[in-house]
Chains A and B, each alone.
Chain A
Amino acid sequence: MLVTGFAVRSAFGAGEDALLDGGFGGAAAFGPVDRFGVLRCRTSVAATLPGAPVLADELAAVVEEACAMAGLPRLGVDRVRAASPLLLAAHAGRETVDTATEVAARTGFRRPDRVYTAACVAASSAVADAAASIAAGRVDRAVVAAGFLVDAGTFGLFDSGRALARDGVVRPFSAGRQGILLGDAVAAVVLEAVGTPATPLARLAGWGRAGDAYHVCQPRPDGTGLARAATAALDRAGLPAAAVGYVNANGTGTPASDAAESAALRLLFGAGLDRVPVSSTKSVHGHALEASALLELVITVLAVRAGRLPVNAGWLAADPGCPLDLVLDEPRPARPEYALSLNAAFGGANTALLVGAA
């Protein structure tokens, strides 16, 4: 499975250079929210794009950019886009399907095949389904796009749920971590079968999903669900855990989630975990909910390609419950052959995407 195109927008701006220059170094993009009022909220910051972006416009833009990178013409002789699935990930709501339909129409796709709404694993689930369809020979390529723009309702929900970091900093796996902060993200990825004439930027070597069967919104503390998802991704690639040279962690910065993920990584890597660099880039771009997994997949691809691993920002001090080799202070030079991108969501949903160098 080949990754042949991608496009991304976050609070760092548009394009891979904006992420590499701004996000990889650990300078967080959080700032005061001016998109709506936050006077009655406990937290007042998020990582947002400037101005008043419109989700359909941003999604259409990243789909065009990713398709251009992959060399997929809007109206080629075989009308390649119209023949390709377009899978979207976005929050479930009254306008969700209309937005997806508009994006498809504006970018030359027949229609959106469906919208994945599975919270923080929505985008990675879409990628997994796209990959499964390609692997089974049903289609040669698929385009996955995801978008989340911080809005008043979602901000209010996370604030009232006491999920937001009151100190205005996301500190994954660190002592003193207080919670998440929200961030805008819009991204698109083109996946194509091996054997197509496309030029690979990276490979999607494996994918896996598993449930916790534990709680409405809390992760299973022993991490077994997330570990099973990651094991499934490795098994699909026929690789041992030792082949993984970097983990882009879910790392939300919440006490329970980070501890559970650390337990999952210990189950996956055993004693070898001490030699696996880990970072959560939510510490710089925030949590983009339904779009987070696609943004983080792009970052994982960039890390594999750029030869440097992004910083886990906001770190204060070690937490004995999270004994990880975190990438701290500055990007770490490394050229991992394989890297894992992990995500977990409400409902006990866990996903793992295994990226391989091209």
Chain B
Amino acid sequence: MTAPELVDRLLLPVPSGAGEDAAIVLAKAQWPDSDADTLTPVAGFVLSTFSPLVAEVAERCLRARYGEPPAVPEHAGSTALVLASARGDMTTNEAARDTAEAGGRVPPLLFYQSNPNAVLGWIAARWELDGPVLSIAPTGEDPLADGQHVAGLLMADGEAAEVLVIAAELDPDRAEAVLLGSHRKAGLIVPTATEGQR
């Protein structure tokens, strides 16, 4: 196991009354990481780069925290997955729609990958993360921040001790991931957010 490392301090809009108002960033990753960056195909996912994009940043972020999969048992039982994407897998959904509306048969493999939850299931199974699984479409300017807000609710509500938050969009393809942890669990002291930051 990689020791909990304070990569960054992040103030979250965690509800008041939770007792603590901040979380720590235990690891983070992004795609692309360079002009020459590539995506690793994910078995069973075809046509679209959306799910491989999500899987790639998740893999990088979780490896930075845990090393090789699966995650260590003391964390795995309470690590949630949150995927924030305003438009989701447009490639898959629009291919399915166009094919169906033209009277054709939609390729069967598109069935499950059409929903953003599916790739989260792939990540959860690979890393044995059995906390809550959630996909959202943020309506604001900063999808990652909205995912972090939801992560803050999950931690404050006692539903997860750590949350992997992924923000991903297609066209152009880009993704970020942060693994957030409760500073209470990590034993780290983090400044409390002011009211104005909630």
Contact = CB atoms under 8 A, between A and B. Distances in A.
B125 A215 contact: yes
B181 interface: no
A55 interface: no
A159 B107 CA distance: 10
A78 to B, nearest CB: 19
B100 A152 contact: yes
Given A157-B106, A213-B129, A346 B112 contact: yes
A133 B135 contact: no
B133 A215 contact: no
Q: Is the interface of B mostly helix, strand, loop or mixed?
A: mixed
A152 B120 CA distance: 25
A22 B96 CA distance: 33
Given A97-B139, A114-B137, A160-B106, A213 B124 contact: yes
Contact of A348 (B15, B114, B125, B153): B125
B116 A133 contact: no
Contacts of B127: 213
B48 interface: no
A37 interface: yes
Contact of B121 (A92, A113, A117, A216): A216
B90 to A, nearest CB: 5
A6 B143 CA distance: 29
A152 to B, nearest CB: 4
Interface string B56-80: 0000000000000000000010001
B96 A161 contact: no
Given A208-B159, A349-B133, A213 B138 contact: no
A137 B15 contact: yes
Interface in A4-42: 36-37, 39-40
Contacts of B118: 216-217, 346-347
Nearest to A152: B100
Interface string B11-27: 00001111000000000
Contact of B124 (A39, A92, A209, A212): A212
Interface string A89-130: 011111011001100000000011111111101100100110
A210 B130 contact: yes
B156 A348 contact: no
Interface in B115-173: 115-122, 124-125, 127-140, 146, 150, 153-154, 156-157, 159
B137 A92 contact: yes
A114 B112 contact: no
A114 B139 contact: yes
B132 to A, nearest CB: 4
Interface residues of B, number: 64
A138 B14 CA distance: 9
A94 B81 CA distance: 22
B198 interface: yes
Contacts of A160: 105-108, 110-111
Interface residue tally on A, bucketed by range:
35 or more
B88 A93 contact: yes
A157 B113 CA distance: 10
Interface string A134-162: 01111000000000000111111111111
Given A161-B112, A216-B125, A156 B96 contact: yes
Given A97-B139, A132-B153, A137 B99 contact: no
A189 to B, nearest CB: 18
Contact of A39 (B17, B103, B115, B159): B103
A158 B16 CA distance: 42
Contacts of A125: 132, 134
A209 B88 CA distance: 22
A267 interface: no
B102 to A, nearest CB: 9
Given A132-B15, A345-B115, 4 more contacts: A116-B137, A118-B134, A160-B108, A346-B117
Q: Give me the 8 closest cross-chain CB pairs, A-B, nearest first.
A: A92-B88, A161-B111, A136-B15, A156-B100, A153-B97, A347-B117, A347-B121, A209-B132
6 contacts: A119-B117, A210-B130, A212-B124, A216-B119, A345-B133, A346-B112
